Chain A
Amino acid sequence: MVVAEHINKWYRTTQVLNDVCFETAKGEIFGLIGPDGAGKTTLFRVLTTLIKADSGRATIGGLDAETDYREIRTRIGYMPGRFSLYPDLTVRENLEFFATIFGATVRENYTLIEGIYRSLAPFENRPAGKLSGGMKQKLALSCVLIHKPSVLFLDEPATGVDPVSRKELWSMLRQLKEQGITIIVSTPYMDEALLCDRIALMQHGKLLSAATPAQVIAAYPRKLYAAEAPNNYRLLNELRANPQVASAYAFGDCVHVAFIAQSDTSIPNLREIPPGIEDCFIELTTGKGAWNDHRKNDGK
């Protein structure tokens, strides 16, 4: 559905997208996971035809993002990260406005958003600026869906939204997926990564080959241990000073440790644990390249 081939993008001397390649299937939730500044938003803008890549090619449903941008724009829905609707227009006015500029009417596609919009209906005449964060998010989603796009791009849709609304949002995304809409979503939250069909971790403009969350976790390159001590802070400092330790970081009530080669068994209360998606991401961002080496050796 969405294909990116060797996309490169520079801003002056900084390379913000570095040979990005991926492919999504129809009706898939594809997650781009990465910290702020990883290049997620830039990638979204290339895919939504808002900016041109310096090299490489992006296609949406077989249409080229550079030459067929006008056709693509009728088929995609894009919710930018800072998208905040028009605060002075009412819920209904916002929805009708976005339907109109996409050449649709709310009526003809109402069934698509009905599930999301039902809870908003009582506030139809309230200015969008006076809605709660979760409500705003629902309205924004309704607005980008109202022209029945076949691909939905959501740039950090859950940032700044309370946990309950985040949960709701993800269940809405699953419903949309059931209707055959391809969803590309970016998020800095690890727990959301598990909700995607496939994820791609992104850092410094580079995208690691896409995999299911389970595959990503399985590819964790080391043995991971949890250590506990009365004073976790002191323990953490000791571990970081230990030359055998590859990485050590506080994680909930304990400290997670990974070793470069041999495990240092002299450390008390050490127990091996299965890595989570967060451990994978920390390994990726701080793991001194071990992850990349490992994945290359792995061949996949």
Chain B
Amino acid sequence: MKNNSPFSVHRNSPFIALAGKEFRHIFRDVRTILLLLVMPAAQIILFGFAVTTEIKETPIAVFDPSKNVSTARLIKRIDASEYFRVEQMLHHPDEITGVFGEGKIRLALVFGDGFGGSPALDGRASLQIVADATDPNQAGTLTQYLSAVIGDEYRSQLPAADAPPSIVPVVKMLYNPEMKSVYNFVPGVMGLIFLLICAMMTSISIVRERETGTMEVLLASPVKPSLIIAAKAVPYLALSAVNYCTVLLLSVLVLGVPVAGSLALLTVASSLYIVVSLLLGLFISTVVRTQKAAMIASGMGLMIPVMLLSGLIFPVANMPVALQWLSSVVPARWYIRAMRGIMIEGLPLTAVRLEIAVLCAMGVVLLVVSLKKFKVRLE
């Protein structure tokens, strides 16, 4: 029989066809591409520059009834520091609530009535710092900084000989001498990005095929189910590798975060975490039925614990014991810890072996559970 088909004789392997199809799904959807390639870069830049917990030029208000040389000197010193900016001089203490309410200032400094001469010597000087404690962490940090500035001024007025004996600790900030918050964020953002790409996208793409009925056709085909799943993971693995490079390059070149430890070790740890995230995505896809559920499970079930429990924002050590236990099942917690160790502190493998071991164990457990749940049949 004459074959007049316009199709080629070339025979592809099913695996290549499956992986190729997955790449097409990704590259033909603008939103997916934005999510997978642009968002990670945007996130790292955003966390590096815009979202910062450092104190800079905080607006404050001052009430100074005595208006003499020493108060003027102190105010000038505060204003000159990089942390604060005197936004407003108040005429009456009652105005404080008003200016806080308008949101113009974040801190108020109130001089006592008799503040004059050398405050250190006449012993009558009193000062009050009023802070907005709706954000207690911020209020605490701000008052600390302001107290430090005032303390400096007080000490500078004393002749060296008259200084009372006191212990002034010398503080050395290891690994991050400038206390840049971006040092903390780079490992955290990496933890988030890989989770998003691998766990969320993999689970959604598997569940989508189930929703559209194509999974049924694939399963009713001679292709092994494990091959179907492996082919699903390939594009996300590749995209994670691309993102790993971008994020690392951006943080080193743009944000100035050095890679203190071994790059090879960093790559190994990250690959391990990527694999764990992929397996997590596979696991999610075996327990949810719809794309929406997959989105919620990976969004709410993974992103939020990563943000809140991994130590990205709140230190794990400060959490109640129950939450600390809970946080130890979040893979990102271990990955972020390992990343901080390797990337920022420059620690060798032996120092992060616990983290690596935990990630390995999580990977094995997820693999076993997912393989058990993902069968050659539909149920």
Is A82 in contact with B212, judged by CB distance below 8 angstroms? Answer: yes
Is A98 in contact with B9, judged by CB distance below 8 angstroms? Answer: no
Contacts of B372 in A (CB 8 A): none
Q: Encode contact with A along B1-23: 1 for CB under 8 Å, 0 otherwise.
A: 10111111111111001100100
B367 contacts chain A at the CB level, 8 A cutoff: no
Q: How far is the CA of A50 from the CA of B217 in the complex (A)?
A: 9
Q: How far is the CA of A108 from the CA of B18 in the complex (A)?
A: 20
Q: How many residues on A have C-beta within 8 angstroms of the other chain's C-beta atoms?
A: 41
A102 CB contact (under 8 Å) in B214, B222, B378, B379 = B222
A85 contacts chain B at the CB level, 8 A cutoff: yes
Is A106 in contact with B18, judged by CB distance below 8 angstroms? Answer: no
B35 contacts chain A at the CB level, 8 A cutoff: no
Task: Using CB atoms, name the residue of chain A closest to B212.
Answer: A84
Task: Using CB atoms, name the residue of chain B closest to A95.
Answer: B7
B353 contacts chain A at the CB level, 8 A cutoff: no
Q: Encode contact with B along A71-115: 1 for CB under 8 Å, 0 otherwise.
A: 001101011111111101100110011101111011110110010
Contacts of A98 in B (CB 8 A): 217
Is B218 in contact with A101, judged by CB distance below 8 angstroms? Answer: yes
Q: Encode contact with A along B74-101: 1 for CB under 8 Å, 0 otherwise.
A: 0000000000000000000000000000
Q: How far is the CA of A110 from the CA of B17 in the complex (A)?
A: 19
B102 contacts chain A at the CB level, 8 A cutoff: no
Q: Encode contact with A along B207-219: 1 for CB under 8 Å, 0 otherwise.
A: 0000111101111
Is B8 in contact with A107, judged by CB distance below 8 angstroms? Answer: yes
Contacts of B18 in A (CB 8 A): 101
Is B1 in contact with A49, judged by CB distance below 8 angstroms? Answer: no
A101 CB contact (under 8 Å) in B1, B211, B223, B378 = B223
One of B24-32, B110-118, B195-203, B332-340 contacting the partner = B24-32
Contacts of A110 in B (CB 8 A): 3-5, 7
Q: How far is the CA of A77 from the CA of B21 in the complex (A)?
A: 20
Contacts of A88 in B (CB 8 A): 24-25, 28-29
Contacts of A48 in B (CB 8 A): 216, 220
Is B377 in contact with A103, judged by CB distance below 8 angstroms? Answer: no
Tally the A-B contacts, defined by beta carbons under 8 Å.
104
Task: Using CB atoms, name the residue of chain B closest to A102.
Answer: B221
Within the complex, the shortest CB–CB distance from A227 to chain B, in Å, comes to 44
A51 CB contact (under 8 Å) in B14, B25, B29, B379 = B379
- Residues of A134-169 at the interface with B, using a CB-CB cut-off of 8 Å, are 143-144
Q: How far is the CA of A77 from the CA of B14 in the complex (A)?
A: 17
Is B12 in contact with A50, judged by CB distance below 8 angstroms? Answer: no
A288 contacts chain B at the CB level, 8 A cutoff: no
Within the complex, the shortest CB–CB distance from A7 to chain B, in Å, comes to 15
Q: How far is the CA of A69 from the CA of B6 in the complex (A)?
A: 33
B220 CB contact (under 8 Å) in A50, A52, A84, A103 = A50
Q: Say whether, besides A50-B377, A103-B222, A84 and B7 are in contact (CB < 8 Å).
A: no
Q: How far is the CA of A110 from the CA of B21 in the complex (A)?
A: 22
With most chain A CB atoms within 10 A of its CB, the pick from B3, B7, B25, B218 is B7
Contacts of A111 in B (CB 8 A): 1, 3, 5
The 7 A-B residue pairs with the shortest CB-CB distance, nearest first, are A110-B5, A106-B7, A100-B17, A80-B213, A83-B213, A82-B213, A107-B7
Can you list 23 A-B contacts with CB-CB less than 8 angstroms, sorted by A residue number?
A: A45-B378, A50-B220, A51-B378, A51-B379, A52-B377, A74-B222, A78-B220, A80-B216, A82-B212, A83-B213, A83-B216, A84-B213, A84-B214, A93-B24, A97-B17, A97-B21, A101-B221, A103-B14, A107-B3, A107-B5, A107-B9, A110-B4, A143-B217
Sample of 13 more A-B contacts, CB < 8 Å, known A48-B220, A49-B377: A48-B216, A50-B219, A50-B220, A52-B377, A73-B220, A74-B222, A82-B212, A83-B213, A84-B213, A100-B12, A100-B17, A103-B222, A107-B7
